[in-house]
Amino acid sequence: MDALLAYTVTGIFTGAAYAIAASGLVLTYSTTRVFNVAHGALGMLMAFVFWDFSVRQGLPSWLAFVLVVFVVAPLIGVFVQRVLARGLGEAPVGVGLVVTVGIFVGVIGLAQQIWPPAARPLNQFFNQSGTHIGSLFVTWHQILTIALSGVVAVGLYFLLTRTRVGASMRASVDNPELLQLYGGRPDVVAALAWAIGTSLAALAGILLAPIVGLDYYSLTLLVINAYAAAMLGKLKNLPLTFVGAMGLGLIQAYAVGYLPSDAAFSGLRAVVPTLFLFAVIVLMPQAQLRIGQVKGIVSAPVASLGRSVSFGGVLVFAVAVAVVFLSNSNILLLGTAATYAIVMLSLVLLTGYGGHVSLAQFSFAGVGALAYAKLDSPNLLGLLLAAVIAAFIGALVALPVLRLTGLYLALSTLAFGQLMDKLVFQDSHAFGFNGTLTAGRLSVLGIRFTDTGSYVVLMSIFFVLVAILLLALRRGQLGRVLVAMRDSQAGCATLGLDVRWLRVGLFAASAGIAGFAGALFAGLRGTIGAQDFQFFSSLLLVLVAVVWGVTSVTGAALGGMFLMLLPVLQSDNPSIAGLAFAVVGFGAVALGRDSNGLANRLFVIGRFLRDQAFEVVRSMPDLRGDQDLDAEPDLASDEREVTDHAAAASH
């Protein structure tokens, strides 16, 4: 009985922290229609600021708490809304996800740069003192967390339903223009919502930090668990969100206490919130189509078949020349870049053409690598089977949420990535009991590419082939349907197009391409492990793809090179490791509204230089120095000259 009471108190404490974080997330979404993926990262950042104020600067804990929750966090929330997330509520869901994921990664990089990795103990409030409930000792920190969750729930409910400000918040999400006509100020309302939401994220982070420790990823992902409670409340129902958070905390505590303690269940205990999130998403009612808007973008130019083959040949030739002069370690890096580039091609299909965001592409690549190693068939058949298995898993992820779109589909991939990370990749049975699997180099038509240089050239050939297939698809009828689905699903529905199964097929094809890349990567490395396919890498992949251009194969190629060079830069310059993440994250925020990315800027520069070169050639004088090259020839005078010469010859 004492054990049950202990687990119950722990569950209520955890659920209370989840309720505080989820309430801020619901408030932000219900007033601005922006799902802030960076909510947990902002809570983590504020926890570090609280540690800095209270421990390093020596301020009293209560003063540091007041400064962070009521001053620093609201100011950061207003800054994020006014500068980074302005107008995201009216943008396509994919744009909002990319921008907030960029804030997520940028904030983690900023925290790493300001506070380098080190042990930072943080005591609970009231110095871990408490009281006894029967034989159970409960700290005042736990009691404070539970009490604050109730205060937050009641306060937000009263704010939204009983005050003029709350009415303005609810009106701003439905029709900000109409609110403005009635004297409201939608921008001020949105800034206030983000200020309160960030303060609640800070409150949850500060209350959880003494329990889980000041760690960039653990604290961020722990607050992300609150997403499940927010989804149960459909991102707008605060009482249901509170109930969901408490239920989630209790389920997680009971899972820790009563599931068997052997290794087979250790991963299951860690993913209880993720399973809860996935179950809530699957059971969500069918999403309504948002009508009355077409969110089209000007896509990057699509090359013809001839130009695609020509540029592909040049790329393969350049790789073949490069491997002759590079060392073996640099050749491996070049092969890693090819792997990343092929995975980014899967995002070109899914996000660039189809408009859907996946937050688990590296998980699909891991499925392909794992299948290739387990099949132990290092040939084209084994490679294709690995891709098919990954495609099948991708279809299974999309199938349960066939009725849903946009945000829910992206969150289902987030849940899938966390499940694969904890239940599969970190399980001893997946990569063997030593944590790694061996994979053989690929053989094609009996020719085994054992040399690393030749294998990387083969990978570049596969990249070119996949890119040519994607460009051919984009030029065809199916490509036009995908772009129409990306721009307006409601418009497709009015034309009688059922895009639900097309969405499943799109996810399957994208996952298959990622699995194909993972299988090639397994052959390149020879050994693979769980660390090669971590969940955080998928978020970074999406951002780099958007920065360089997720609508073009050129962006995929450049993004693959950049993503390969990023860890090299960090290892060579550890003092700016966090800054590199911050640049990528906030760079994605700056370019997130233009998915054509830097590659499109290069296309513009290339066209400008080409036009300038043509102008120079056209303006050059001919050999006589009195005519331009583009002047029309005087055929009549030429004919008279020929006639005169003929007459002179006859005489």
Distance in angstroms (rounded) separating the CA atoms of residues 85 and 590? 10
As a whole number of angstroms, the distance between CA 584 and CA 601 comes to: 17
Mean pLDDT of 86-108: 83
Would you place residue 69 in the very low, low, confident or very high pLDDT band (cuts 50, 70, 90)? Answer: very high
Mean pLDDT across 54-67: 92
Query: Are residues 278 and 329 both part of a single domain?
Result: no
Q: Can you tell me the distance from the alpha carbon of 237 to that of 27, in angstroms, rounded to the nearest whole number?
A: 9
- State whether 314 and 390 are in the same domain: yes
Model confidence at 629, pLDDT cuts 50, 70, 90, reads very low
CATH number (domain holding residue 596) = 1.10.3470
Kindly report the pTM of this predicted structure.
Answer: 0.84
Residues 227 and 367 in one domain: no
Q: What is the span of the domain harbouring residue 572?
A: 305-602
Angle between helices 2-32 and 186-212 (to 10 degrees): 160
Q: Is 235 in the same domain as 150?
A: yes
Residue 290 within a domain: no
Residues 6+ apart with CB under 8 A from 611: none
Residue 648 lies in a domain: no
Is residue 295 pLDDT above 60, yes or no? Answer: no
Q: Where residue 178 falls among pLDDT bands split at 50, 70, 90?
A: low
pLDDT for res 160: 82
The answer, yes or no, to whether residue 640 has pLDDT greater than 70, is no
What is the pLDDT, as a whole number, of residue 289? Answer: 45
Determine contact, residues 190/166, Cβ cutoff 8 Å: no
Angle at 235 between CA 232 and CA 236, to 5 degrees: 110
Whether pLDDT at 650 is above 60:
no
Work out the number of other CB atoms within 10 angstroms of the CB of residue 384: 13
Residue 626 has pLDDT above 80, yes or no: no
The b-or-e profile of 177-191 (16+ CB within 10 A means b, else e) is eebeeeebebeebbb
Is 381 contained in some domain? yes
Domain count, the chain: 2
Does residue 145 sit in the same domain as residue 261? Answer: yes
Tell me the percentage of the chain whose pLDDT exceeds 90: 29
Judge whether residue 236 has pLDDT over 70. yes
* Residues 268 and 402 reside in one and the same domain: no
Looking at residue 292, what is its pLDDT?
42
Residue 90 domain-assigned (yes or no):
yes
> Is the pLDDT at 242 greater than 70, yes or no?
yes
Whether 458 is in a domain gets the answer: yes
pLDDT at 323 over 90: yes
**Of the residues 282, 317, 332, which one is the last residue of a structural domain?**
282
Residues 265 and 309 in one domain: no
Is there a domain that residue 205 lies in? yes
Q: What is the pLDDT of residues 112-125, one digit of tens each?
A: 999 998 888 888 88
Same domain membership, residue 34 and residue 77: yes
In a domain? residue 503: yes
Is the residue at 300 inside a domain?
no
Residue 319 exposed, middle or buried by CB count within 10 Å (0-12, 13-18, 19+): buried
**Are 114 and 196 within one domain?**
yes
Q: What is the pLDDT of residue 177?
A: 62
The percentage of residues in the chain with a pLDDT greater than 70, rounded to a whole number, is 85
**Among residues 585, 602, 619, which one ends one of the domains?**
602
Q: Are 300 and 555 in contact (CB under 8 A)?
A: yes
pLDDT value for 175: 59
Is 388 a residue whose pLDDT tops 90? yes
What are the residues whose beta carbons fall under 8 Å from the beta carbon of 444, sequence distance 6 or more?
A: 379, 380, 458
Same domain, 237 and 196: yes
Check residue 421 and give its pLDDT.
83
For 456-482, the pLDDT digits (tens) are 999 999 999 999 999 999 888 888 888
402 and 277 within one domain? no
How sure is the predictor about 262, in pLDDT bands with cuts at 50, 70 and 90?
low
Question: Which residue, of 222, 249, 282, is where some domain finishes?
Answer: 282
**Same-domain check for residues 205 and 312:** no
Average pLDDT of the chain is: 82
